[in-house]
Amino acid sequence: MLSIDLSGKRALVAGVADDGGFGFAIAKALAEAGASVCIGTWPPALGIFETLLRRGKLDASLRMSDGRKLELERIYPLDAEYDTLEGTPDDVRKQKRYRDRGDFSIQGMADRLRDDFGDGCLDIVVHSLANGPEVTKPLMETTRGGYLAAHGASAYSFVSLAQRLQPLMRDGGAFLGLTYLASQGVVADYGGGMASAKASLETDARMLALELGRRWGHRVNLISAGPFASRAASAIGFIHKMIEYYALNAPLGDALRAEEVGSAAAFLCSPLASGITGTVLFVDKGYHAMAAPADVEGLIDRLRKD
């Protein structure tokens, strides 16, 4: 029987701070397939996440299909806005949630991985990172600082992860990131430069696929997921309307589940996808294929209610 087998492989999932998002679902799916999993967590969220783990509050979410409990091999502090600790502003380093975490930069995480496991210790790197401080602002109201911050945290961080973790990758490694349909079409409330940041991420992934593929044989792919009410997405404010809109108009009308994204990620990171690179895989119930609303009457009724 054909199955996804990641036995003997180690994955690093950057951007896991709770059990409710795609990052956690991907980490769990990779573990289900046999990989050992390390994660990188934003320092301001790390203390709460560690407490929930220690107190068993996440045990139900950590339970896998065979009854085993997902055991995270390492949890590293990671603020992917900073490539090195030296390049981090002093006021950030002195903050309570940062100062006792050591080197929380991307390079710092790479150094800790090398210290813990040696060179040639990684097979899979997942970028589940995005932040736009002005995402709720229309583009016409977005500042230069907010725009560039969205690109740095959401797009360049993928390049920086590749730069600093590639030396740790074994042959045939896989890099994976998460994008969104707003990179290709207008999502009116997805502002602050985040749409163009996702477009940059997709362009960079294609270029990285060439550079990492030709030189080291690594693959680079992205998943474009549909709307999902994670804690981070819910903070944007319109996610539930997006979910309803997709349900009305996508070929598959049921709501997207995080584990569906996790399963797709496990496939793309596995030998079963050895011929796939430079690709954006849509996991959105087919919504991306639609050129016009499927349920015009339902859409009009919803707009009238709003």
> Where in the sequence numbering do the catalytic residues fall?
180, 190
Buried b (16+ CB within 10 A) or exposed e, 115-129: eebeeebbbbbbbbb
**What's the rounded Cα separation, in Å, for the pair 254 and 209?**
33
What's the burial of 300, exposed, middle or buried (CB within 10 Å: 0-12/13-18/19+)?
exposed
**What's the rounded Cα separation, in Å, for the pair 217 and 174?**
9
**What's the rounded Cα separation, in Å, for the pair 173 and 126?**
11
Q: Which residues contact 74 (CB under 8 A, 6 or more apart)?
A: 38, 39, 112, 113, 116
Structure-block tokens of residue 131: 């932040």
Q: Are 261 and 160 in contact (CB under 8 A)?
A: no
Task: Calculate the alpha carbon distances from 122 to 52, 175, 195, 233, 267 in Å.
Answer: 27, 10, 30, 29, 17
Structure-block tokens of residue 164: 């600093």
